[in-house]
Amino acid sequence: MALACDPTAAPGPMLVGPDPSDAPIADLDDAWRERFTAGDAAFEANYRVAQGLGPVYIRTSCASCHKDDAKGPGFVNKMAPAQPDAMLPWGDTVRPYTAAGASTPIEPEQGAVVSTRVGPAVFARGYLEAVQDAEIERVAAEQAAAGGIIRGHIHRVAWRSQANPDARFHGYGPGDEGLIGRFGLKASIPTLDEFSAAALLGDMSITSPLRPDELPNPDGITDDMRAGVDVELDVVNLAADYVRLLGLPARIDPDSDEGLAHGQALFDEVGCGDCHVPTLHTRPDWPIAAVADIDAPIYTDLLLHDMGDALADGLQDGDAGPRDWRTAPLIGLRHLRSYLHDGRAASLDEAVRAHGDPQSEAREVTAAYEALSDDEREDLLAFVGSL
């Protein structure tokens, strides 16, 4: 069965309808739906110099890296020093644009190893945040006990922002350590409000009460054209709540199609589901009722895995090494046009085969995939493409 997401494609059924990827979770109450609408505006907002853009920046809005809440088209370039023990004075992120009196962008150091990060999809990421810590710990323990080469580990991180007075979702603050990282390609951020604050500052140099200090920059500018903190706390929380409230893009029931049902069985048989765990259970006390106490169908274990030299980026991010990547959630793949952290794979088949580095934890799974017949691979990829 061919993978057919285009309603005009033939042969084969259309896997899912033309649903938008930026729809909210179904059955939200009026208060959450109003919050979603306000958050959508915050997510789409373009910042200008008078609003605090700069001194150095990458993009001018959240949506510029997450168009339609999917992957890309924006990207970030990261750099690792040529010498492993060397320090990069302005951090490991290339920031090519300047504003607010700055004239010197942050560019790669001579000899630096540069890698690209395509902006990840954000739909349904609230489900990831809602997963119980115990679930992630359980999966990590099960992989370790199995004794195989797949042995993901939790990225324990520290809270790197100021405390958020809105404690509905968590109560973390400065000094808190050992938190489970869930967001970012190396699982370096534990919550969506910290992710929002980090993106505002890191991509646009927009300061907030969670991250009130301007980024270090070559011109030594410590403030911009908007004196003090650039945005109020609610801007951070609105953007975070918008992502929390994004629904899962529609999926077709595999049981309704023989080829998809076969592909789902093969997905489990070859071992894809060992890391891309189909469901993890969410917190019963999660403030968004529609996401609380459910088996969230996110297809990830939220663990770091060693993917080998072929996918390495040269960067150490906390306890995540150059070859470590968090298992990508297989959510809404029909909305994506490229795959892997840097978009190097133009097809799902390329993405799967890229897991087969000789040092990769996924090498045996990749070998099992490659041993399938052409028809079997088509069915497996059709199932993955329907998620």
Could you report the per-residue pLDDT of 305-346, keeping only the tens digit for each? 999 999 999 899 999 999 999 999 999 888 888 899 999 999
Please indicate, yes or no, if residue 6 is contained in any of the structural domains: no
pLDDT score, position 6? 32
What would the two tokens of residue 309 be?
A: 């030299």
Residue 350 inside a domain? The answer is no
Which DSSP string corresponds to 196-233? HHHHHHHHH----SSS-SPPP-TT-----SS-S-SS-H
Has residue 327 been placed in a domain? Answer: no
**Of 56-65, 79-88, 319-328, 366-375, which range is least confident?**
79-88
* For the chain, percent of residues with pLDDT exceeding 90: 77
Listing DSSP states for 354-385 in one string gives: GGG-TT-TTHHHHHHHHTS-HHHHHHHHHHHH
Cα 364–chain centre separation: 25
Number of domains in the chain: 1
Residue-level pLDDT at 5: 33
Question: Which alpha helices (H) appear in 74-191, and where do they start and end?
Answer: 125-130, 133-146
Q: What is the pLDDT of residues 101-150, one digit of tens each?
A: 999 999 998 888 899 998 888 889 999 999 999 999 999 999 999 999 99
- Residue 71 pLDDT > 50, yes or no? no
Is the pLDDT higher at 349 or at 85?
Answer: 349
Query: Is pLDDT of 3 > 50?
Result: no
Q: Where are the beta strands (DSSP E) in the chain?
A: 56-57, 75-80, 97-98, 113-118, 156-157, 179-180, 280-281, 295-296, 304-306, 324-326
With respect to residue 278, please indicate whether it lies within any of the assigned structural domains. Answer: no
Q: Classify residue 48: in a domain, yes or no.
A: yes
DSSP state of 88: -
The pairing of strands 113-118 and 75-80 is antiparallel
Residue range(s) defining the domain that contains residue 74: 30-129+163-172+189-244
pLDDT in tens, 177-214: 999 999 999 999 999 999 999 999 999 999 999 999 99
- Would you state the pLDDT for residue 19? 54
Residue 340 counted as domain residue:
no
* Domain presence at residue 135: no
Residue 111 lies in a domain: yes
Instruction: Give yes or no for a contact between 327 and 275, defined as CB atoms under 8 angstroms apart.
Output: yes
Q: What is the DSSP letter of 109?
A: P
227 pLDDT band, cuts 50/70/90, is very high
For 104, residues 6+ apart whose C-beta sits below 8 A from its C-beta are 98, 217, 218, 219
> What is the reported pLDDT for 251?
85
Tens digits of residue pLDDT in 91-112: 999 999 999 999 999 999 888 8
pLDDT for 251-303, tens place per residue?
888 888 899 999 999 999 999 999 999 999 999 999 999 999 999 999 999 99
